[in-house]
Amino acid sequence: MHPEAAAAGEIGYLRAMADVQIGIVGTGFLARTRLRCWHQVRGAEVRGVASRLRNGAAAFAAAHGIGEVYDDAEALFASDAIDLVDLCVPNGLHRPLAEAAARAGKHVICTKPLAAYTGQDLPESRSAAEVGQRDRRAMYAAAVADARAMQAVCEQAGVQLCYGENWLYAPGFVRAAQLVAQADAALLEMRGWECHSGSHSDYAKRWEHAGGGALLRLGAHPVGAMLHLKRTEGLRRSGTPIVPVSVSAEVADLSRVAGAGGANLRVATGWYDVENWGCAIVGFSDGSRGTATGSDNVLGGMESRLELYGSNCHVKCSFSPNDMVRAYTPDAEVLGDAYLQEKLDSGAGWSTPMPDEDWTSGQLPMVQAFRDAIASGTPAAADGALAVDVTRVLYAAYVAAAEGRRIELADLDVTG
């Protein structure tokens, strides 16, 4: 299992040199992941936690050695002890909490997607079905408006909006980007995907909670990585960012394929009104292409990969799994409850036990980079501008899938 914190002596040393004070909102899976990472960050200390239920926040704080428990997020934002707020909350809460934190003078970390469509332009009396059936152009308009508003409020408040896209900070991605820059390559094509066997949370299966399916939850990672690579390529080669200009896409619930069912179907099922598979093709201003896939139909653990086809090089990144460690057991009982890899449902046969998944996934180096950006006053690589463009691309993909044609982003921004 993951360690919940570093050794007590090391934590004490890190806290003694802390100069950026962290407040976490939320106590779920993401909050636990971030807390493990924050405990290892140089120059940072988690000072407080807030959650929808104070009892839950108190239990979380007691289990992880956090000093302050706040009655709600607003109380945490008002505290002079907090410099940076890490929002580990459902998608529909991103905008109100980010804006409230920024107006209180706190820097903000918001996980992907920055903004999502969860029915915010519909009356409160709307049904769940109405949210999922909303016209995709209306979804685009609402989600992108939220993302841009969050970016604007943070800018006006003079605080940083850090976009929690961990792929940008994964050691494999950082090295790949360095090689592409060293080669001065023009990236002609990029292919990326994040896939696993699916979420079993009912919240992930409903548009009113998640704001989309596999394309949004999983495809956001390769989309963000590709947008960042093309932006930096353009700045390196000509001083002008290369930006996304068009999107085409398809989405589907492949758990409903004929012949799949019962004991023959081992992936998550019960998707209410979101896709469990999505693929988007992004066209860039230089004529290059990127293909991003998110899928809940892949057994054998998490797969997170990125392939870069340059004009003079070819680079492949395997974030998960990777072959740093491989293990074989004749049956799952041999390794017992040992943690091997995210979403791996059995330790039988060959497996790839991850030596430090927080590091290889980019979560740990990401929060260290965010801390350093806040402390130095320099912009984070994963910033609000990237987050807005990821939102635009993902919701343009939903429009493209619904209308069965390629969508020009400029046209969408005019028409909504």
Question: DSSP of 192-238, one letter per residue?
Answer: EEEE-S----GGGG-HHHHSSSHHHHTTHHHHHHHHHHHHHHHHHHT
Look at 41-45, 225-229, 319-323, 365-369 and tell me which has the smallest mean pLDDT: 319-323
**Domain check: are 346 and 405 in the same one?**
yes
The last residue of one of the domains, among 144, 164, 184, is 164
Is residue 212 included in any domain, yes or no? yes
Which residues, 6+ apart, have CB-to-CB distance to 414 below 8 Å?
none
Name the percent of the chain lying above pLDDT 70. Answer: 91
**Domain check: are 120 and 224 in the same one?**
no
**Domain check: are 153 and 180 in the same one?**
no
Domain count, the chain: 2
CA 125 – CA 119 distance, rounded (Å) = 11
The last residue of one of the domains, among 164, 189, 205, is 164
Is residue 3 included in any domain, yes or no? no
Q: Which domain holds residue 176?
A: 166-415
Q: How long, in residues, is the chain?
A: 416
**Domain check: are 144 and 176 in the same one?**
no
Measured CA distances, 376 to 19, 130, 285, 373, 380 (Å): 11, 46, 33, 5, 10
**Domain check: are 76 and 86 in the same one?**
yes
Assign residue 44 the CATH number of its domain.
Answer: 3.40.50.720
Global confidence as pTM? 0.90
Q: What would the pLDDT profile of 75-121 be if each residue is shown by its tens digit?
A: 999 999 999 999 999 999 999 999 999 999 999 999 999 999 999 99
Is residue 1 included in any domain, yes or no? no
Assign residue 174 the CATH number of its domain.
Answer: 3.30.360.10
CA 115 – CA 99 distance, rounded (Å) = 12
**Domain check: are 284 and 246 in the same one?**
yes
**Domain check: are 391 and 299 in the same one?**
yes
Q: What would the pLDDT profile of 330-383 be if each residue is shown by its tens digit?
A: 777 766 777 666 666 776 666 676 678 899 999 999 999 999 999 999 999 999
**Domain check: are 15 and 159 in the same one?**
yes
* CB-CB contact of 221 with 302 (8 Å): no
**Domain check: are 158 and 228 in the same one?**
no
**Domain check: are 94 and 192 in the same one?**
no
Is residue 90 included in any domain, yes or no? yes
Q: Identify residue 397 by its one-letter amino acid code.
A: A
Q: Which pLDDT does position 339 carry in this prediction?
A: 65
